[in-house]
Amino acid sequence: MTTTPDPEFVKAVALAKAQGAEPADPLKTPLAEARQQQHRYFEILGGTPPEVLSVQEYSLETFFGRFATRLYFPSAERPLPVLVFMRGAGWWAGNLDSHDRTMRLLANKSGMAVCGVDYHCAPEACFPTQLDELLATVQWLRETGLQTGVDGSRMVLVGESAGATLAALAAVKLKADQVQGLVLFYGNFAGPSLQSRDYSRWVWANFLGSHSLPADPAAIPAQMDLKGLPPSWLGVGDCDPLVGDSIVFADRLVAAGVACQLRKYPGVPHAFVMMSRLFPGADSALTDAAQAARNFVYKSDSFVVD
């Protein structure tokens, strides 16, 4: 990892802090209180959201209960290809509002619809609940998407952090015949280990409902059979403690014959795209991700590991 943070990112963090935005630490704060603080953090980072043409709210149901989905449309064209977006926040925090800005930007930059999935948080809901909710959303879009204005046959799964892990797991089940591409920011693809940070082990224990190691391999993308996955774009900062996960996962994809591009962004840490209002580099990275999604849908590019 680089030891030189991007000075513009450092300025953005200082500005966010001056506005009252500081991430919560659930290892030091009761979970309910940490969620409230994290919600406030996301709210300040999001600011006034970019305009999109329209937003539609829906809800779906799995065995665990009902969960919300939200569709963003950047234009009046119908049907539009769709990006299915899974948020980060360690599986324990966040909702559709927390990542509203990111989803709006992706819709505007890609020219495609974006469907956000408000999966249930851990530890109240454990694996595979969140994966089942993503798969249920994919099935809903494929079966009824034309009624809502999307073309479920032209779909890219997009995720960041914990959401990237879920998107990768879903792609293992769906394969390239159902999904045209993967766009993944800094996922925890390799799972927990004794060498993992305390926070990383904590989020995995909550997600899996167990502190046991080795963790359930069915929840770890880098341990899955990746043959038949759609072409993939991975973005990660080289100051991210999980940068190694993206490198390992990219190598596994290439070994499985999957076209893959790994984009490493200098001087930025984990979750940097959440700073898109204050840090131009995050906005630029989202432009890269949106272009990769367009390439997958419209078959206009090829990919190699950097």
**Does 287 reside within a domain?**
yes
For position 220, what pLDDT does the model report?
98
Of 226, 242, 133, 94, nearest in space to 172 by CA: 226
pLDDT tens by residue, the chain, 306 residues: 457 999 999 999 999 999 999 999 999 999 999 999 999 999 999 999 999 999 999 999 999 999 999 999 999 999 999 999 999 999 999 999 999 999 999 999 999 999 999 999 999 999 999 999 999 999 999 999 889 999 999 999 999 999 999 999 999 999 999 999 999 999 999 999 999 999 999 999 999 999 999 999 999 999 999 999 999 999 999 999 999 999 999 999 999 999 999 999 999 999 999 999 999 999 999 999 999 999 999 986 554 444
pLDDT at 306: 43
- What are the φ and ψ backbone dihedral angles of 234, each rounded to 5 degrees? -120, 130
Q: Is residue 214 part of a domain?
A: yes
pLDDT of residue 305: 41
For residue 196, what pLDDT is reported?
93
- Give residue 303's pLDDT: 45
CATH number for position 84:
3.40.50.1820
Q: Which residues contact 262 (CB under 8 A, 6 or more apart)?
A: 234, 236, 246, 247, 250, 305, 306
Radius of gyration for the chain, computed over Cα atoms and rounded to the nearest angstrom: 18
Whether 305 is covered by a domain: the verdict is: no
Q: Is 87 exposed, middle or buried (0-12, 13-18, 19+ CB in 10 A)?
A: buried
Helix (H) or strand (E) holding 58: strand 54-62
Strand-pair category, 65-73 with 80-86 = unpaired
Report the first-to-last Cα separation within the chain, whole angstroms: 16
Any domain includes 26: yes
Exposure b/e, 265-290, CB count within 10 A at least 16 = b: bebbbbbbbbbbbbbebbeebbbbbb
What is the 8-class DSSP label of residue 121? Answer: P
303 assigned to some structural domain = no
The total number of structural domains that make up the chain: 1
How many whole angstroms separate alpha carbon 142 and alpha carbon 136?
10
For tokens 């995050």, what's the residue?
282
Q: Give me the domain span that covers residue 190.
A: 7-298
Residue among 196, 202, 211 at smallest CA distance from 242: 196
Residue 222 Rama label (left phi>0; alpha psi -120 to 50; beta): alpha
**What per-residue confidence (pLDDT) applies to 300?**
66
Which parts of the chain fold into alpha helices (H)? 7-18, 31-46, 100-110, 129-148, 162-174, 198-208, 243-255, 280-298
Beta bridge partners of 261: 233
Write down the residue that tokens 């959440």 correspond to: 274
Is position 280 within any domain? Answer: yes
Predicted local confidence at residue 164, as pLDDT:
98
pLDDT of residue 225: 97
Q: Is residue 15 part of a domain?
A: yes
Per-residue pLDDT at 304? 42
The pLDDT of residue 299 is 85
Domain assignment present for residue 262? The answer is yes
